[in-house]
Amino acid sequence: MSDLPARFLAGLGPSGSLGLAVSGGGDSMAMLHLAVACGLRPAIVTVNHGLRAEAAAEAEQVGAVASSLGLSHTTLIWQGWDHSGNLQDAARKARRRLIAAWAVQNHIATVALGHTQNDIAETFLMRLQRGAGVDGLATMAPRWPEGGVLWQRPLLGFTRAELRQWLQAQGKTWVEDPSNDNLRFDRVRARKAMAVLQPLCVTPARLAQVAAQLAEARTALDALADDWAARTLHEQAGTVTIAPALWSAPAETQRRILQRVLLWISPAEYAPRGTQLGQLLARLSNGQAATLAGVRFVHGRGGLRALREVRAAAPRCAVDQIWDGRWQVAGDLPQGAELGALDAAGLAQCPDWRSTGLPRAALLASPAVWLGERVVAAPLAGFGSPAIRALPLHPLLGPKNLALSH
């Protein structure tokens, strides 16, 4: 047990200014005390989701422990759930969003989360039940950037049992969330299933090992997809042309290329599920047109072209914001202007759009600068001042924008 602080520090790595997300449960409280045992002085943050009457008292308890250790503590309140959809997923997204904003505001570069080896195993079972492939079954990312913050999971090499044993040996306390026994949550059912699988030697450690091996396989598959993407993808004005040579690549590579195209044209936290991708791939390889996740695929002389569906594009926003998850506009813009889809009404104001050589459907979903109902500039349609430029937020062949294992 005496080696736990050293293991924690090795799992954390270089962190700079550090924040810890602490709920009061055994895992996060162990993380807090391990950090202090390592001589660190992190800022502590707790999110009260307002879903249980005890949550406020638990946040106060975390604050009291932090204060006794000479650490700062902040409680963030979430009141955004509309009682529809997946509660745990909505709470997770809200927690990340709130904590990221807190970290940026307080100049905290790194935030550590208390996920353990048990979380890897439970996530593996949950995704296995949903029919996930290599990406979904691969281990949780130990660190990744998001929302202006570097997120880390320094406890992935620890089990819940050893963390609680260490806390008990140190005379430390924690709270147990009653929702951890509520079988209506997938994670709780996966946790119960682990106990049934133990006699078969299917332990958290074994599943974490398999997940790590799948992460290595994912890296190899991504490298192969990188090579094919460089040879078969061509970006033009927010659309992507896919060369026919792609259909000679392995089926898994084809799926990965389509994932990248989908997420580049229609940014989302996750790519469509494997079944949907399989159906898309079958239609496209048979020469049919298809639409998925707001992206339309049409066959032409130059190959397969993927473009944004105008009806799926985001509503207008201020010109200094990112529109539709991927477009920025640079240039001298009039006060009160907005950024949005060109659409049919705007295209009618662009007399020379045919000279661009782009399909009409592609231009309908392209970015335009609006002042009321008048188009000030439509850079991709060749309309307006040439000093006004539309720039994709991410390069198509740049860093991966998949978020499958966070």
Residue 390: its pLDDT value, please?
77
Residue 331: its pLDDT value, please?
85
Write out the residue range of the structural domain in which residue 373 sits.
310-392
- Specify whether 314 is located in the same domain as 253: no
Residue 81: its pLDDT value, please?
62
Using the Cα atoms of residue 377, residue 382, residue 387 and residue 390 in order, give the sign of their dihedral: positive
Task: Please indicate, yes or no, if residue 27 is contained in any of the structural domains.
Answer: yes
Q: Are 98 and 74 in contact (CB under 8 A)?
A: no
Q: Are 216 and 222 in contact (CB under 8 A)?
A: no
Task: Please indicate, yes or no, if residue 216 is contained in any of the structural domains.
Answer: no
The burial of 183, by beta-carbon neighbours within 10 Å (0-12 exposed, 13-18 middle, 19 or more buried), is given as exposed
- Specify whether 142 is located in the same domain as 270: no
User: Which of 308, 334, 349 marks a domain boundary?
Assistant: 308
Residue 181: its pLDDT value, please?
65
- Specify whether 323 is located in the same domain as 297: no
- Specify whether 294 is located in the same domain as 314: no
Beta bridge partners of 338: 318, 370
Lowest mean pLDDT among 122-131, 157-166, 343-352, 394-403: 394-403
Q: Which of 391, 363, 396 is nearest to 296 (CA)?
A: 363
Task: Please indicate, yes or no, if residue 131 is contained in any of the structural domains.
Answer: yes
Number of domains in the chain: 3
The SS3 call for residue 405 is: coil
Residue 23: its pLDDT value, please?
93
Residue 403: its pLDDT value, please?
39
- Specify whether 32 is located in the same domain as 109: yes
Amino acid at 322: I
- Specify whether 161 is located in the same domain as 284: no
User: Which of 273, 308, 343 marks a domain boundary?
Assistant: 308
- Specify whether 116 is located in the same domain as 202: yes
Using the Cα atoms of residue 175, residue 181, residue 182 and residue 184 in order, give the sign of their dihedral: positive
Other CB atoms within 10 Å distance of the CB of residue 204: 22
Task: Please indicate, yes or no, if residue 230 is contained in any of the structural domains.
Answer: no
Amino acid at 129: Q
Residues 220-260 have pLDDT tens digits of 999 999 999 999 999 988 899 999 999 999 999 999 999 99
Helix axis angle, 160-170 to 26-37, nearest 10°: 60
Task: Please indicate, yes or no, if residue 371 is contained in any of the structural domains.
Answer: yes
How confident is the prediction for the chain on average, in pLDDT?
Answer: 89
- Specify whether 353 is located in the same domain as 302: no
Task: Please indicate, yes or no, if residue 406 is contained in any of the structural domains.
Answer: no
Residues 135-183 have pLDDT tens digits of 889 989 999 998 899 999 999 999 999 999 999 999 999 988 766 666 6
Q: What is the pTM of this model?
A: 0.80
Task: Please indicate, yes or no, if residue 403 is contained in any of the structural domains.
Answer: no
Residue 147: its pLDDT value, please?
87
Lowest mean pLDDT among 130-134, 199-203, 324-328: 130-134
The end-to-end CA distance of the chain, in Å, is 29
- Specify whether 282 is located in the same domain as 315: no
User: Which of 308, 329, 357 marks a domain boundary?
Assistant: 308
Split at pLDDT 50, 70, 90, the class of 406 is low
Residue 404: its pLDDT value, please?
39
Residues 374-403 have pLDDT tens digits of 999 999 999 988 777 877 766 676 545 443
Compute the average pLDDT of residues 349-361: 93
Task: Please indicate, yes or no, if residue 19 is contained in any of the structural domains.
Answer: yes
For residue 405, pLDDT over 50 is answered with no
- Specify whether 173 is located in the same domain as 137: yes
Residue 402: its pLDDT value, please?
41
- Specify whether 62 is located in the same domain as 183: yes
Using the Cα atoms of residue 224, residue 226, residue 230 and residue 236 in order, give the sign of their dihedral: positive
For residue 69, pLDDT over 80 is answered with yes
- Specify whether 99 is located in the same domain as 199: yes
Q: Which helix (H) or strand (E) holds 110?
A: strand 110-112
| DSSP label at residue 75 | E
Amino acid at 302: G
